[in-house]
Amino acid sequence: MAGALAAFKKRSGEVSLAAAVVLFMLPLLWIPGKIYLTLTIAGLAMGMLIFLVASGLSIIFGLMDVLNFAHGALFAWGAYTGFSVFKLMRVWVGADSVLKNVGVFSVAVAAALLAVAVLGMLLERGLIRRVYGSHLFQILITFGAMVVLVELIRVFWGPNDEVIVQPLTFRGSWDMQGVIVERYRVLCIMIGLLVYAMIQIVLKKTKLGTIVRAGVENREMVQAMGHNISRIFTGVFAAGAALAALGGVAMSVFDRQVYPDMGGTYLLFAFIVVIIGGLGSITGSLLGALIVGLAYNYVAYLVPWAAAAVNVLIMIIILLIRPTGLFPAGG
């Protein structure tokens, strides 16, 4: 019996991979093939966008041991900064030129990254620094920061929903033998993969990444080696905030709207993702985000009202069988 269990544990990687593939194909029983492919692409795109939010949350937690409830608000700030850029550069958004369309999107992303990174730095220096070490007070203070940031959005940009016009190049879709592929979704998937690759390269191949990874393992030791951990913390927080902002811009163009409370919805997705994937793990976040995105789209097609419930259900199942998530950090 014990031997069988050990053998099972040794093979658990392959077993769970097989289980994942079976689960992934399961919706095919009810969904016609072509629609299934369309939904899969939509799910992957949504998953990649959620990954952008969740990865920032996960990095911040992994290194700083801070659970940032204001992450959703930073996401919304990113989206609103992008919205302002889109509004200022209306002409380029509507222009029939790929260069100008991509240009306005890039400017929006750059502005959002910059603005929210600065905001993140202020947040870390001003508030979160005071409550290192106490999870309870971190949650309380970042929750308060979230309320203030969301209200500030209402003050600066007004309390109503605003429409974002997709740049002309990003609109429309390709029809491949009945499988409808929206252009922007493909772009989202590419952005997500690019960011994942960049995070991995920075963490694994650069000196900074080594320091950050060492900081996750043992903070005091890194400090003793002469690295200014406090400055690194601020930098990591700003980077995590910037990832949320990137997610915010990409998501607002995806949804074609911004609204002050948009952060709450995606913060929730990000929480579910990091619980599924394991707090602190980037690969876990990617996998968790893809699971959430795909499950949401399949279920939204089959049973529309249950779409919001299915992710909580997945989270509960994962908590039951693997309380620390699929890829526990440091493991």
Partner 1 sequence: MQTPVQMYRIGRKKNRFKGAGFFLKVGTLLFLIATPFLFPSFKIVDLAMNIIIFSVLVASFDILLGYTGILSFAHGMFFGIGAYCVALLMGQYGGPSYVHLALGLLLGVVAAAALALVISFLSLRVKAIFFAMVTLAIAELAIVLATKLSGFTGGEDGISLNMPGIFAVSHHMGHFLGIEIGGRIFTYYLILFGSVILFFLMIRFTHSPLGRVLQAIRDNTRRAEALGYKTFIFQVVSILFGCVVASIAGAFYAMWVGYVNPESCLGVMTIMLDVLLMVIIGGMGTLYGAIVGAGLLKTAQTFLPDLQHLAKIVFPHVAFIHQFLERWLLLFGVLFILVVILFPKGVIGSMREYMARRT
Residues contributing to the site for partner 1 (CB under 8 A): 67, 127, 130-131, 135-137, 139-141, 143-145, 147-148, 151-152, 154-155, 261, 264, 268, 271-272, 274-275, 305, 308-309, 311-312, 315-316, 319-320, 323-324
CA distance 13 to 22: 14
Mapped onto helix, strand or coil, the DSSP state of residue 176 is strand
Mapped onto helix, strand or coil, the DSSP state of residue 193 is helix
Q: Are 326 and 276 in contact (CB under 8 A)?
A: yes
Q: Cβ of residue 63: shortest distance to partner 1, in angstroms?
A: 15
Q: Which is nearer to partner 1, 76 or 249 (CB)?
A: 76
Q: Cβ of residue 289: shortest distance to partner 1, in angstroms?
A: 15
CA distance 290 to 284: 10
Q: Cβ of residue 201: shortest distance to partner 1, in angstroms?
A: 29
Q: Cβ of residue 239: shortest distance to partner 1, in angstroms?
A: 21
CA distance 112 to 255: 17
Q: Cβ of residue 316: shortest distance to partner 1, in angstroms?
A: 6
For 303, the token pair is 């049973």
Q: Which is nearer to partner 1, 33 or 159 (CB)?
A: 159
Strands 257-258 and 173-176: unpaired
Mapped onto helix, strand or coil, the DSSP state of residue 258 is strand
Q: Cβ of residue 137: shortest distance to partner 1, in angstroms?
A: 6
The answer for residues whose C-beta is within 8 angstroms of residue 259's C-beta and 6 or more apart is: 160, 161, 162
Q: Which is nearer to partner 1, 22 or 155 (CB)?
A: 155
CA distance 231 to 210: 15
Q: For helices 71-88 and 33-64, give the axis angle rounded to 10 degrees.
A: 120
Nearest C-alpha neighbor of 278 from the set 315, 252, 253 = 315
**Which residues are paired to 180 by β-bridges?**
175
Q: Cβ of residue 166: shortest distance to partner 1, in angstroms?
A: 28
Q: Which is nearer to partner 1, 24 or 143 (CB)?
A: 143
Q: Cβ of residue 326: shortest distance to partner 1, in angstroms?
A: 14
Q: Which is nearer to partner 1, 127 or 189 (CB)?
A: 127
Mapped onto helix, strand or coil, the DSSP state of residue 257 is strand
Q: Which is nearer to partner 1, 38 or 68 (CB)?
A: 68
**Which residues are paired to 173 by β-bridges?**
182
Q: Are 59 and 239 in contact (CB under 8 A)?
A: yes
Q: Which is nearer to partner 1, 44 or 275 (CB)?
A: 275
For 307, the token pair is 């779409």
Q: Which is nearer to partner 1, 78 or 278 (CB)?
A: 278
